[in-house]
Amino acid sequence: MTNLVLYQKALPSIRYLTGQACWSYVPNFPKRDVGNYHRLMVCFAMNNVFLTLIDGINPEKTFFCLSAGKVGFKNSKKLSTKCLLALLDEFEQRAKKLDIAKLKIHLRGYNTLRVPFFNQFRSRPFEIVEMMDCTPVPMNGCKPKKQRRL
């Protein structure tokens, strides 16, 4: 029954084409929660991690930016899990001052700290409303950089 409702919702109706509201013809359809939650932009660079908290209503307003260097780590220590814990602790303190409970998380880039970030962030007191991967993927564009050998 749910698949049928989703299929009906996906079909364009005459009311949709004329600009009228078309919510009424689907009974008990679960409406998506589209609240204005704050967004946490997480950028995993090659040698660093950046956290940026953005307002949900006005996306041009940035509350604060954090990086592994701002927390006090230098060079290769930026890629340690100890640094990630310190970064998340600092984020938690600043977010508590702003009284933030629900977040939308946008992830960008690949790094060795990406999986530990998920595990550590789930143990924090924030409710994750949405998690999205915004990593840019080339569509046969420029030649990629030579892979780093370790």
**Where in the chain are the domains?**
1-31, 38-133
**Packed helices 114-122 and 81-97: angle between N→C axes, nearest 10 degrees:** 40
142: Cβ–Cβ under 8 A, 6 or more apart, which residues? none
Fold of 38-133: Nucleotidyltransferase; domain 5 (3.30.420)
For 148, the token pair is: 């780093």
Residue 16: phi and psi, rounded to 5, are -65, -40
Lowest model confidence (mean pLDDT) among 18-27, 116-125, 137-146: 18-27
pLDDT value of residue 10: 44
Q: What is the pLDDT of residues 69-106, one digit of tens each?
A: 999 999 989 899 999 999 999 999 999 999 888 899 99
